Amino acid sequence: MALVAVMPVGRIMQMGQSVPLVWMDSFFSDDGSCRVCQLGCSSCLDSTGIYSAYESGFTLSSTDSTKCTPQSSVTSTRTVCTDGSFSGGTACTACNALCSTCTGSTGNDCIVCGSGRYKFNGSCVNVDSNGVCQAGLTAGNGFVADNNKKECEACPEKCTACGITSFTIASTIDQAKCTSCLPGFVLSSGQCVESCPNGSFLDPKDNTTCSNCDSTCSTCANSFTTCLTCANNLLASGGTCVTSCPSGTFSSSGACVSSHTDCATCTGTSFNHCPTCPSSRPVLSNGRCLPVCSKAEFFDSASGSCKSCDSSCASCSGDGGANCLSCANDNNILRSGRCVSTACESGTSVVNGLGICLSDLVAIPQTSSPTGTSSGILPSITGIDSPIVEDRGQRLEWWQIFLMALGCAFVILVLLLCWRRQARKRRLAATQEFARQKQLDRPKTWRERVIRFGERLYAYSGRTRDSRGAHKGNDLPLSYRHRNLKHESRRHSKKTESDLNTMSDESMYTYLTGQPRRATEVR
């Protein structure tokens, strides 16, 4: 049994979410979205929209079970009122200007709204140029005019707002396009979808709208010209669609993929998939681009590949036996690019790997002998691998070491003198700064100079007089104390050694001078 869908006023169900909107009698359609019941139906069944109850003034349509038709208004005198009027008792009374048919005189008594107005939650409301119902600031959001039902219908599934471009009385509800979507959905060509379809991309300006890619793109990203895949058998290369891949790339799964860095062109991503080579690696060998050919090969510029040298050559610069660089046989000698079998002059050896005689590499001085023949010694290959003795040079003499040490000492002495001179300068500057702060360097007045002279004069006289008196006064006590020293020594000799070392005993300096010592007496 189908459930009756009566939604609460002020809420609308969209994709399982309760959206705060003013709502009237409605039902759930097969796709799970809310739809408004036909005009006059107070409630209807889910999925089918068949009425389960109708409003006052309506009857069931005899031809369509989803529709309710308005009843004719009849007066007490059995007069049938025409559209635009209602029974006022004994006579028909004109409806409100908002109504086409009505049951009363107010705008809330409309059965069918007048031209240009649509039923919304029991009232007749206007619509804008896009067919959006104008029912206050928020009440009409999510509703668009339905010319068939003569009332405001809910926007398509997953939409929060919608409209019909260039709306007229001939527009149908199927022409309604979404203008905004529920959270989690994006707007694509008037529909709310989970992700942008092929041929479109999510516009980074608002991240809620899908914009169409360029006509050559199947998919794109961040911009309509940045193609990821292409249509019409074109190839994606660097965000654009091309008919053939540029140099340094190859076609793979509808896109141009970069070749290996060794290749000029390639048939794959590996280093051995090169059909042609760049100028920096001109040698093509088994699909690889090499900078040079192997030792027994030479580069043929005509074919762009390596070819084998002549059998007599170990290495060569071209085709044939006249372009040898070294000989395959160690006993052969290289003459004008050819390897010939001949002996070296005067019995010298052949240098292996070069194909030349040792006598051709070494200049032999020619000296005349008494017999008229050359006495030069011809070199041989023997001894080439002998160890080389390193000459470490002559050791320094003693006087050279002495001069070096003397020079070092002189340098150190000069550095010390310079340091002392700088220290004196710093000390002098500090003294002058101290005198300046204490005002000691200011000029003395004549009175201060006289006082200073007197202090020096009388201070000198007083010191001289005191020193003389001290000498005269101490002669007798010193003599007396010296005479009694023997008696005192006898008395002190009876003391133990520990008693002599005590700090409380009178020291000899005190005994002789009568004055205390400034430091401890050494016992």
pLDDT at residue 425 tops 90: yes
For 152, the enclosing helix (H) or strand (E) is strand 151-154
- What is the bridge-based pairing of β-strands 217-220 and 324-327? unpaired
Give the tens place of pLDDT for each residue, 86-133: 888 888 988 888 888 888 888 788 888 888 899 888 788 899 999 999
The mean pLDDT value of the chain amounts to 75
Q: For position 176, what pLDDT does the model report? A: 92
What confidence tier does 475 reach under pLDDT thresholds 50, 70, 90? very low
What confidence tier does 410 reach under pLDDT thresholds 50, 70, 90? very high
- Residue 120: Cβ within 10 Å count: 25
**HEC letters along 231-244:** CCCCEEECCEEECC
**Residue tagged 């430091």 (tokens):** 519
Average pLDDT over residues 292-307: 83
pLDDT at residue 404 tops 90: yes
| 284 vs 273: CA distance, rounded Å | 10
Q: Both tokens of residue 356?
A: 């030349």
- What is the bridge-based pairing of β-strands 177-181 and 186-188? unpaired
Give the tens place of pLDDT for each residue, 363-380: 655 555 555 555 455 555
pLDDT at residue 37 tops 90: no
β-bridge mates for residue 99, sequence order: 113
Q: For position 12, what pLDDT does the model report? A: 45
Average pLDDT over residues 30-45: 65
Q: For position 258, what pLDDT does the model report? A: 83
Give the tens place of pLDDT for each residue, 307-329: 889 998 988 988 888 999 888 88
Cα-trace Rg, the chain: 62
End-to-end, the C-alpha distance of the chain in Å comes to: 130
Give the start-to-end residue ranges of the domains of the chain: 23-71, 197-243, 292-359
pLDDT at residue 442 tops 50: yes
Average pLDDT over residues 255-277: 81
Give the tens place of pLDDT for each residue, 184-203: 999 998 999 999 988 888 88
| 477 vs 486: CA distance, rounded Å | 15
Q: For position 499, what pLDDT does the model report? A: 47
Q: What angle do CA 330, 334, 335 make, to 5 degrees?
A: 155
Average pLDDT over residues 204-217: 87
pLDDT at residue 384 tops 60: no
Whole-prediction pTM? 0.42
DSSP state of 378: P
Average pLDDT over residues 464-481: 50
Give the tens place of pLDDT for each residue, 487-507: 555 454 444 444 444 444 566
Pick the closest to residue 355 from 384, 337, 338, 332 (CA basis). Answer: 332
517 vs 22, more confident: 517
Contacts of 513 (CB under 8 A, 6+ apart): 474
Instruction: Name all contacts of 491-494 with Cβ < 8 Å and 24+ positions apart.
Output: none
Q: For position 163, what pLDDT does the model report? A: 92
β-bridge mates for residue 41, sequence order: 54
β-bridge mates for residue 113, sequence order: 99
